Amino acid sequence: MSGLESVENDFQSFLLRGRADIETRVVGTARVPIATRLAIYGNAYRSRLAETLQNHYPALAALLGAQEFAALCSAYIEAHDSTFASIRFYGGELATFVSAGLKHESVPLLAELAQWEWAMNAVFDAADAEPIGVQALAAVAPEAWGGLKFELHPSLRRLDLGWNAPQLWKALTGATPAPEAAKADEVVAWLLWRRELQIYFRPLPAAEAQALDAAGNGQNFGELCVALCATLSEAEAPAAAAGYLRGWVESGMIIGTRAGEE
């Protein structure tokens, strides 16, 4: 290992683990001792990561309050190093961390709120793509429909939530009175996607969520209809699938189709 690599490794060990090996390589003065000089970098590193978490999770920060969110950030930073070239991707495990580590009666809600906020960031940062129009569907030959497969927009995300995290997020980030935390009687399917620079989201009926998941997994239109037969009649399924598909296209969520075997 070269001298420079050794210094870099010692400095990284100090930043990540608080190891003191780097102290022998730093020059201090009476005015600015070694510990003070190193603390400037160490504190700045953690502060930048905490600032990033604050930017990624503003609603969670507002709900927890400054002191509790700061404690959460500190614990997360201690447990999770930044391993990405871009700091944008730091913090993706916060929802799991909240579920596993916080002793709080509202942990399920907090974890889902973190999951929601991370999904919103992912939707905004996803690659762009040109959606197809309804005319593309009109051009499909009737005999080809059964084997037709669909390519979804890269920004599309699906979440299943048991709490009113989306409503809380909207209120907390919009400076409006937040509703009371509430657990739904059943898990609610949510869809998030972006069209140009605008993020959209809405709850999904169970049948539509089932069809969209099937399309995302590469199943063709005929298979979507079969999947819908679990909740709809055989007579209703094709029309329902066609209606869902038209809505997805009109919302800019489909960027391509391809033929396949029925």
pLDDT at 7: 46
Tens of pLDDT, residues 175-231:
788 899 999 999 999 999 999 999 999 999 999 999 999 999 999 999 999 989 988
Assign 65 to helix, strand or coil.
coil
* 57 CB-contact burial (10 Å; exposed 0-12 / middle 13-18 / buried 19+): buried
Contact 210, 228 (CB under 8 A): yes
- Helix pair angle (3-17, 34-56), 10° resolution: 60
Can you spell out the DSSP letters for 92-157? TTHHHHHHHH---TTHHHHHHHHHHHHHHHHHHHSPP-PPP-HHHHHTS-GGGGGG-EEEE-TT-E
pLDDT band at residue 170, thresholds of 50, 70 and 90?
very high
- Read off the tokens for 6: 């050794």
> For the chain, where do the domains classified as CATH 3.90.930.50 start and end?
127-262
Cα-based distances in Å from 233 to 42, 225, 228: 62, 10, 8
- Residue position matching structure tokens 């009666």: 105
How far apart CA 173 and CA 218 sit, in angstroms, is: 35
pLDDT at 39: 56
pLDDT at 14: 53
Tens of pLDDT, residues 62-83:
999 999 999 999 899 888 888 8
Report the DSSP pairing between strands 149-152 and 157-163: unpaired
List the CATH code of the domain at 127-262.
Answer: 3.90.930.50
- Mean pLDDT over all residues of the chain? 86
Q: Which residues contact 31 (CB under 8 A, 6 or more apart)?
A: none
Share of the chain above pLDDT 90, in %: 64
Q: Which residues contact 40 (CB under 8 A, 6 or more apart)?
A: none
pLDDT at 129 over 50: yes
The pTM of this model reads 0.84
